[in-house]
Amino acid sequence: MQRKNSVNLMNIFKNYKLMMTTCLVVFSGISVTAKSKIVAIDSIEALVQVAAEDGQQVRMKSGVYALSDYLNEERIAKLLAELPPQTETQRRPPRWFLRFSGNNNTFDFTGVTIEIDTELYSQLPYGYMRCIFIDGDGNTLKGLTIKNTGPEDKGSNGNILSVFGNNTLLEDVKLYVRGSTYGYGDLFGKGGPVLTHLQKQSGIMVAGQNNTLRRCKVFSRAFGHCFYIQTQGHDTRDILLEDCYAEGAMRSTNSILAETGGLAEELNYRSVYLNRDGRYMISPGYTKSLSEDGFRTYGGVGKVTLRNCTAKNTRAGFEIGGTNDSENRTLLQGCQAIGTERAFLLGSNVLVRDCRGDIQYGPLLYLRENTVGSDVELELIPGMPNSLVHTIASIAGKNHRIRLYNNASQVSTPALPIMLGFGMPAHGEMSSPIVPMETEGVELINQLVNQTVIVSDEAKNVKVVSSAPVLQDSESKKMSGRGKW
């Protein structure tokens, strides 16, 4: 009898241990597996709770979750009470709908779509909108899809997803962005001056240290950047974007000029940009991206690497704002720009290798004035322009090395010039004139056989090795009847 009771007690103890190891504690839509600390959630309410905690493996149930269903009047009031106040020193504090403030969490969002209705923006009336805000450290988000719903003419003047924390990993995150004053690109302005309120709406913004984005995609049907990297008051460095994709949409200026009953007609078809006729008017014959840049970095950031990334139908495929005194070069490797207004717009201390772009709607390269120390090798994807394009590249600045080449030289390319000692047109707008700009110590290797090099009088101590003729600007003007490029 005593032995039987001992056996029963042992079995009870074993069963109790097993139960404690595998039992599920359920509250507010959260299921926690104690042994592995795997947290299963099936609601936005539960996500808000776990996103503020540390050291979890979170799995959200597949499905579509609308923020408008969660953010009722009571929750909006609670959120407004938690958000940073607007002050004299911080005029645009961050505003968010979802915040990931916890640390060292992994979130598996495979099969999950979060919908953000653009009507919600007016619920948070000031500050910089960062709809989903990641400011905790060591977090991983995988497989999340985010879509805008609601009115297409409402933007937030912010972005959909912001990374401020360190050691963040985003994998297979997709954004479908819409909203803003859309349909005209930057013709009516951007930072200022502007002819109308733009209500910009961008995709993913990255600050902080050691942050990585892999296989992330932004499909933008709004006026704003797809991916951009800024300091925003942070020490921003060691950022990697790998196998990421940015896509916008294009529209011809002929289509805009033919529009009746829309904003273009209301603004008398004006533009903030001076065109080649000396007028602030939209010029026919060009094609505009309706978004901003595919990949953009701003000055002040540290080491950034963009590897195997693609931009399609954006304003600049890659606009890299490297600073003159940067200790680390921004690296672009294996990247390509397809059907953009300008494929690569580069600043100082940029290293470009195995990258390529076309000239369907604009130049392959603008290397900006007042820049130093970039080393650029770019392949021109062969093909003819689909609208007005004036140059393959304009190159200014100091102590750059540029190599332009084509791996399919038997395919026709237009006889457009490479312009050395010329700045990019004002604001990068192709309908504005390209003017000579101070340039010194630049080495240009032109392996494009159809592309004559035009060298301005502002270019000093330059070295040109070219497969096509090299002409001084004054000589080319005599040959062309002093026409404008």
Output the 3-class SS for 120-171: HHHHCCCCEEEEEEECCCCCEEECCEEEEECCCCCCCCEEEEEECCCCCEEE
Residue 343 has pLDDT above 60, yes or no: yes
pLDDT single digits (tens) 154-175 = 999 999 999 999 999 999 999 9
Identify the band that residue 28 occupies on the pLDDT scale cut at 50, 70 and 90: low
Asked whether residue 475 is domain-assigned, the answer is: yes
Q: pTM to 2 decimals?
A: 0.92
pLDDT single digits (tens) 379-390 = 999 999 999 999
Cα 121 from chain centroid (whole Å)? 21
Asked whether residue 361 is domain-assigned, the answer is: yes
Residue 431 has pLDDT above 90, yes or no: yes
Asked whether residue 195 is domain-assigned, the answer is: no
Asked whether residue 74 is domain-assigned, the answer is: no
Quick one: which of 138, 322, 157 has its CA closest to 229? 322
Residue 210 has pLDDT above 80, yes or no: yes
Asked whether residue 160 is domain-assigned, the answer is: no
pLDDT at 326: 72
pLDDT at 3: 46
pLDDT at 31: 73
Instruction: Calculate what percentage of the chain has a pLDDT beyond 90.
Output: 82
Provide the domain limits for residue 344.
250-289+315-485
Q: Which is higher by pLDDT, 329 or 113?
A: 113
What integer is the mean pLDDT of 249-271?
97
pLDDT single digits (tens) 36-91 = 578 999 999 999 999 999 999 999 999 999 999 999 999 999 999 999 998 888 88
Asked whether residue 372 is domain-assigned, the answer is: yes
Spatial CB neighbours of 126, under 8 Å, sequence gap ≥ 6? 86, 92, 95
Residue 296 has pLDDT above 80, yes or no: yes
Count of structural domains, the chain: 1
pLDDT at 21: 40
Cα 371 from chain centroid (whole Å)? 22
Asked whether residue 4 is domain-assigned, the answer is: no
Quick one: which of 310, 327, 371, 363 has its CA closest to 346? 371
Asked whether residue 347 is domain-assigned, the answer is: yes
Distance between start and end Cα atoms, the chain:
105
pLDDT at 15: 47
pLDDT at 192: 82
217 vs 177: CA distance, rounded Å? 11
**Mean of the per-residue pLDDT values of the chain:** 91
Bridging pattern class, strands 38-41 and 30-33: antiparallel
pLDDT at 191: 81
Identify the band that residue 467 occupies on the pLDDT scale cut at 50, 70 and 90: very high
